[in-house]
Amino acid sequence: MASENNGSTAVETPRKVALVTGITGQDGSYLTELLLSKGYEVHGLIRRSSNFNTQRINHIYIDPHNANKALMKLHYADLSDASSLRRWLDVIKPDEVYNLAAQSHVAVSFEIPDYTADVVATGALRLLEAVRSHTVDSGRTVKYYQAGSSEMFGATPPPQSETTPFHPRSPYAASKVAAHWYTVNYREAYGLFACNGILFNHESPRRGENFVTRKITRALGRIKVGLQRKLFLGNLQASRDWGFAGDYVEAMWLMLQQEKADDYVVATEESHTVEEFLEVSFGYLGLNWKDHVEIDQRYFRPAEVDNLKGDASKAKEVLGWKPKVGFEKLVKMMVDEDLEIAKREKLLVDAGHMDAQQQP
């Protein structure tokens, strides 16, 4: 906690307090690292599960009994449970709320559309209403960040900016559009400091293994060490604007440091196909992806999104933000991490402690 000493008394500056939904996800873990580095106290909301899924934040977790050092605290709540959201807002009294929680897998959203809409769209509405009612009752100002997605643009041709019309092509994307407009409505109707960050695809070694980039790099590591031979994928011509998640969480934070709430596209302004991702990743380890990749129709979406490429001019000008990690560096970062994981798996398999049980 910062302090000043003018010769007589020390004036302590209270820590900023942030509330993060989706703290156990890729973005939540990077954002929490950033906020802790800036002196925040961070509270994360997690869902009850019989299995812990806190792997991405275990390295920054400190037992709450160590009160002076435990600046990240976890609480059980759910975006489908409005009462839990309001209760924790009243208890935690955050200065900033980051809504990163979602059923965020596009393909899965076609299989569980009701749940996706309830968590992604209505869940955001529940949280916004909890923030609004908390501010009315407490008289406090709370700044709110809503995690948007480039998937909201869907079929709209690139480049896509803050003024580009939305044309969602999945239940997930449609739900994110609803959450976006709920956020705008609460800003305009109630004067809430509420921002939408329309983030284009952002990846990292912490990306979920059922997302195409991580699926590729995990399989590549296993192929390189002999645990796997084939990788099954869908549309290799889908083109995406891929950046590093660690860069993108800084843009989230910067949005809430401005004098005026607004909406921003966050992107690298470069677009690459899945095939290009394969070429760079497999080529990095001296392999030819065509020897290992097979197309499987089950991985094609009912409605495809062909090309996403962001125009982040506004974020660059207003926030002073720009990405630090380029496409090739990002791919190699992910391959390096997953090759090490595959080597550890190989040791366990060779020692008889683990059955490979991977794809053919």
CATH of the domain at 247: 3.40.50.720
25 found inside a domain: yes
Is residue 149 annotated as a catalytic residue, yes or no? Answer: yes
Q: Which of 5-14, 245-254, 297-306 has the lowest mean pLDDT?
A: 5-14
For residue 222, CA distances in Å to 130, 282, 334, 343, 359 come to 45, 12, 13, 8, 10
Average pLDDT of 231-243? 97
Residue 51 has what pLDDT? 82
Q: b/e map of 248-269 (b: 16 or more CB within 10 Å)?
A: bbbbbbbbbeeeebebbbbbbb
Residue 2 pLDDT exceeds 60 = no
In a domain, 33, yes or no: yes
Asked if the model's pLDDT at residue 357 lies above 80, the reply is no
Res 354: pLDDT: 84
The DSSP symbol for 250 reads H
As for how many domains the chain has, the answer is 1
pLDDT average, residue stretch 19-32: 98
DSSP letter, residue 315:
I
If pLDDT is split at 50, 70 and 90, which confidence band does 360 have?
A: low
In the predicted structure, residue 3 carries a pLDDT above the cut 70: no
Q: What percent of the chain has pLDDT over 70?
A: 96
Q: Is residue 38 part of a domain?
A: yes
**Bigger pLDDT: 137 vs 61:** 137
Mean confidence (pLDDT) of the chain: 94
pLDDT tens-place string over residues 78-112: 999 999 999 999 999 999 999 999 999 999 999 99
Containing domain of residue 55, as a range? 15-207+241-269+307-324
Query: Strands 72-76, 41-46: parallel, antiparallel or unpaired by DSSP?
Result: parallel
**Residue 151 bears catalytic tag:** yes
pLDDT at 50: 81
Whether 224 is covered by a domain: the verdict is no
Examine residue 4 and state whether it is found in any structural domain, yes or no: no
The 3-state DSSP class for residue 11 equals: strand
At 7 the pLDDT is 53
Confidence bin at 11 (pLDDT 50/70/90)? low
Average pLDDT rounded to a whole number, residues 166-178: 98
pLDDT score for 63: 87
For residue 49, is pLDDT > 90? Answer: no
Q: Given pLDDT bands bounded at 50, 70 and 90, which one contains residue 12?
A: confident
* Confidence at residue 13, expressed as pLDDT on a 0 to 100 scale: 83
- Name the band, by pLDDT with cuts 50, 70 and 90, for residue 77: very high
If residue 153 lies in a helix (H) or strand (E), which one and from where to where?
none
Closest alpha carbon to 338 in 348, 328, 346: 346
Catalytic residue among 33, 41, 96, 151: 151
For 336, the enclosing helix (H) or strand (E) is helix 327-350
Does 358 have pLDDT greater than 80?
A: no
* Beta-carbon-side half-sphere exposure of residue 226 (alpha carbons within 13 Å): 4
More reliable by pLDDT, 206 or 68: 206
Question: Of 30, 144, 172, 248, which one is the catalytic site residue?
Answer: 172
Q: Tell me the average pLDDT across 264-282.
A: 98
Alpha-carbon gap, residue 330 to 212, rounded angstroms? 14
What pLDDT sits at residue 308? 97
Residue 253 lies in a domain: yes
Position 9 in a domain:
no
Given the residues 149, 150, 239, 271, the one annotated as active site: 149
